[in-house]
């Protein structure tokens, strides 16, 4: 029963990171469109791309954890931050 609960929890984390990956991918496209008009700094584009990569990696990590809930799961890395 414990493995099933872990599987469900990991699947939920995978879904949350998939949602965040899509959100930051949309944000990246929006920022790129705005940058064409000269309104956005390259820092914001880079930040969005880092967040997409971050959430994509965690989505894969938790998808694997959901498939193999008996294996140990390492801690999440620190998320990227936007430095003004």
Range of the domain at 55: 2-67
Rounded Cα distance between 35 and 26, Å, is 14
Residue 40 within a domain: yes
- Our count of domains for the chain comes to 1
Residue 73 within a domain: no
Residue 81 within a domain: no
Q: What pLDDT is attached to residue 84?
A: 67
Rounded Cα distance between 43 and 83, Å, is 8
Residue 79 within a domain: no
Averaged pLDDT, 5-31: 93
Residue 7 within a domain: yes
pLDDT tens for each residue of 38-62: 666 778 888 889 999 999 999 999 9
Between these two residues, 35 and 7, which has the higher pLDDT value?
7
Rounded Cα distance between 58 and 43, Å, is 22
Residue 77 within a domain: no
Of 60, 49, 77, the C-alpha closest to 14 is 60
């Amino acid at each position: 029963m414990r493995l099933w609960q872990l599987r469900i929890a990991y699947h939920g984390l995978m879904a949350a990171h998939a949602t965040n990956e899509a959100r930051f991918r949309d944000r990246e496209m929006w920022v790129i469109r705005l940058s064409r008009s000269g309104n956005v700094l390259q820092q914001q584009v880079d930040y969005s791309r880092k967040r997409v990569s971050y959430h994509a990696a965690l989505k894969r990590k938790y998808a694997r954890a959901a498939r193999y809930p008996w294996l140990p799961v390492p801690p999440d890395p620190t998320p990227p931050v936007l430095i003004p």
